[in-house]
Amino acid sequence: MPVLNEYASLARSLVSIDAAQFKAAMRCMASTVTVITSREGSVSNGMTATAVCSVSAAPPCILVVINQANKSHSLIERSGIFAVNVLSADQIAIAQHFALKPDDPLGRVDYRSGLTGVPMIEGCAAQLECVVEAQTKSGTHSVFIGRVVFVQETDRLPLIYRGGEFVELSRKSD
């Protein structure tokens, strides 16, 4: 397919947009706010994250994207487990807490231990506990694909992040 190859080669030669342009476009996306929890031995942690996505239903897998500089990254890389806690609309304080690398991350947060011992935060819209199946690095971040081994869902509305601020969803009536 010489024509396709020609276009592919042309596409690869294009210069990337700069980081500011990239961030401006990403700010237009509305994303569900989660806290990714992790645990290795006696060390537990949590980090606020919006880069979370469904991958497949069979087997049930999701992906999370985590900065390699984050404490959570090394915990998940070594332990091979994590949980995605989908925050409910009234959990903004928890989102703010876990974005700030607190000294005692779980100290004042209500949680229970999941099947793998990873912290599962109470009051969330949903929870998904995962075992890492694959990891791939891209730039500053890693994509971890997790096979889901436990879920709990509720009808609570999730917390949303858009344009650098937390926003609420509302139900549309017909």
Ligand X SMILES: Cc1cc2nc3c(=O)[nH]c(=O)nc-3n(C[C@H](O)[C@H](O)[C@H](O)COP(=O)(O)O)c2cc1C
CB 2 within 8 A of CB 42: no
Residue 48 pairs with which residues in a beta bridge? 35
Q: How many residues bind ligand X (CB under 6 A)?
A: 17
Residue 61 pairs with which residues in a beta bridge? 56, 147
Phi, psi dihedrals of residue 93, rounded to the nearest 5°: -60, -35
Nearer to ligand X, 105 or 114 (CB): 105
Torsion 139-145-150-153 (CA) sign: positive
* 47 lines the binding site for ligand X (CB under 6 A): yes
Nearer to ligand X, 48 or 127 (CB): 48
* 88 lines the binding site for ligand X (CB under 6 A): no
* 116 lines the binding site for ligand X (CB under 6 A): no
Joined together, the tokens standing for residue 167 give 């926003």
* 71 lines the binding site for ligand X (CB under 6 A): yes
Nearer to ligand X, 70 or 85 (CB): 70
Nearer to ligand X, 12 or 76 (CB): 76
Contact letters for ligand X, residues 26-45 (x by CB under 6 A)? -------x-----------x
What amino acid occupies position 57? Answer: A
Query: Which of 99, 131, 145, 149 is the binder for ligand X (CB under 6 A)?
Result: 99
Nearest distance from residue 125's CB to ligand X, in Å? 15
Place of tokens 């994509």: 143
Joined together, the tokens standing for residue 172 give 């549309």
Torsion 128-36-87-107 (CA) sign: positive
Binding residues vs ligand X (CB under 6 A): 33, 45, 47-51, 65-67, 70-72, 99-101, 161
